[in-house]
Amino acid sequence: MKTKFCFTLFISILFLNTLFSNDLKIQNLAFDENTSILTFDLGWENAWRLGNKFRDAAYVFAKYKEAGGQWKHVRLSLISAPADMETSPHDDMGHLVFMRFDGQGSVKLAQYKFLAQVYDQNQNLINIGQNFPFPDFKVFSVEMVYIPEGPFYWGGYASSPNHDFFHRGDDQHEGVLITSESQQINYGSGSNEYRRENSTTGPTILPQKVKGYDEFYCMKYEITQQQYADFLNTLTVTQQPGGYNIYPLVLNDTPQFRNGIIDLGITNEGRYEFGCDLNGNGIPGEADDGQNIACNMIQPHRVAAYLDWAGMQPIGDIMLFKICRGPNKPVDDEFAWGSPFYNEVLESKLTDIGTGSERQLDPQAYPFAEFPVRAGYAATASSNQFFAGATYYGVMEMSGSLGETISYASGEVLPGDGELSVEGEGQFSAIFNQMCNPDSRLSDISRGTECLVQSTGGRGIVR
């Protein structure tokens, strides 16, 4: 039986204090149709784990299709993994892989085996190998940061009179202490209640609303342009934005707003193929084609579709405070790195434009770019949290680069199921909004204001 494989790697730099991670690799992919076992080697450089609260991880998931068919999500069950690595299943949508012991350094390429299955029409899991001829596979891996279980403070103060922020009911400079995932928070003036500045009433925060007290993993970076192109390449022609402009996301025949996703035309399977071509010469995949630049020009419903397709779910408006400040108390006017200070990053002050090493010529603390930049552009082996512009746990570009797309759902939000509607829509489309640049302070997150599409991006979580 002939089986084809594709490798999709989302490679960039992680920061946590002085630690960074890169060079994620998947190699030697193989599929045994008799046992339905999917095998591959996984490894990366500069991995790290510090106790039970700080670590990086790789979220691994896969897609398959029959000859001439549509790409579908593979349900993965772990069979074996290296002894020095831990894996944690995300339902049956994918697996999180991370170091078993404390340390910093290379995770050597080593073999992982998974049983590859899919649901039939009766929602029973069946083996791909025995039921579908000539399957093709694509394996994806996304860099993540672990956010541990624990209390945190929701809300904070903004000095600008135009800001409309949440805070603790009896003190606008304090946040509401979140002590449980099922916590109910009433609107009022008490120390266990919340208020919204410039408002006299507000809804009760219900116990079923996702708050982020429990552990979860957050994407280390905003969705990159290569990630988004890879996503588009698994969709049907009716789900894709192809056939209208050479650079379809910017609705133009040349790259705009640092977005270089290009429509390469119809394939012999009748779907469009996309790539990255930031330099605009019509040749995708060159070193300076912006593959690792955060992907703008994607509206909330398209971010929703990406997360649903990947088996992830959106970041909630309360949990985002935990991602940024960890257990720390609020700081007035703070950005995601825990300080009210920032230094504007100019595009003219970047070097190696569009490449995997795009960075500042003159690194400075509190870097804030009002345009999409390479994921992790400010982090180096020697940068601290403020020079890297990182959150408490090491998530990058939560302030600056692009506006974050946030869920304001009032109740439980289930993970994506890997499938989209006929039109290419995801199940989260109705619950999204954004916090916007240029002033991406934590106190702005609650406003849910609309972003310009050139400033719109997003990322997701696994919980």
Question: Do residues 303 and 313 touch, judged by C-beta distance below 8 A?
Answer: no
pLDDT tens digit sequence for 145-158: 999 999 999 999 98
Instruction: Name beta bridge partners: 119.
Output: 125
pLDDT for 431 equals 60
Report how far residue 242's alpha carbon sits from residue 245's, in angstroms, rounded to the nearest whole number.
Answer: 7
pLDDT for 163 equals 67
Q: Is the model's pLDDT at 4 over the cut of 90?
A: no
Task: State the pLDDT confidence band at 446, using cuts at 50, 70 and 90.
Answer: very low
Q: Is the model's pLDDT at 209 over the cut of 80?
A: yes
**Cα-atom radius of gyration of the chain, to the nearest Å?**
22
Q: What are the structural domain ranges in the chain? A: 4-148, 149-218+293-463, 225-291
pLDDT for 18 equals 36
Q: What is the mean pLDDT of the chain?
A: 88
Question: Do residues 73 and 65 touch, judged by C-beta distance below 8 A?
Answer: no
pLDDT for 259 equals 97
Q: Is the model's pLDDT at 48 over the cut of 60?
A: yes
Structure tokens at 409: 């759902």
pLDDT tens digit sequence for 263-315: 999 999 899 999 999 999 999 999 999 999 999 999 888 999 999 999 999 99
pLDDT for 130 equals 84
Torsion sign, CA atoms 184, 187, 191, 196: positive
Q: What are phi and psi of 190, to 5 degrees?
A: -85, 165
Residue 201 CB neighbour total at 10 angstroms: 8
In degrees, to the nearest 5, what angle opens at C-alpha 458 toward C-alphas 455 and 463?
Answer: 165
pLDDT tens digit sequence for 97-148: 999 999 988 899 999 999 999 999 999 999 998 888 888 999 999 999 999 9
pLDDT for 429 equals 60
**The pTM is what?**
0.92
* Most confidently predicted of 65-69, 104-108, 185-189: 185-189
Mean pLDDT of 440-462: 75
Q: What are phi and psi of 185, to 5 degrees?
A: -125, 115
Mean pLDDT of 157-161: 79
Question: Do residues 181 and 210 touch, judged by C-beta distance below 8 A?
Answer: yes
How does strand 125-127 pair with strand 103-119?
antiparallel
Task: State the pLDDT confidence band at 24, using cuts at 50, 70 and 90.
Answer: confident
How much of the chain exceeds pLDDT 90, in percent?
A: 70
Whether the link from the prior residue into 438 is cis, omega within 30° of 0, is yes
pLDDT for 335 equals 93
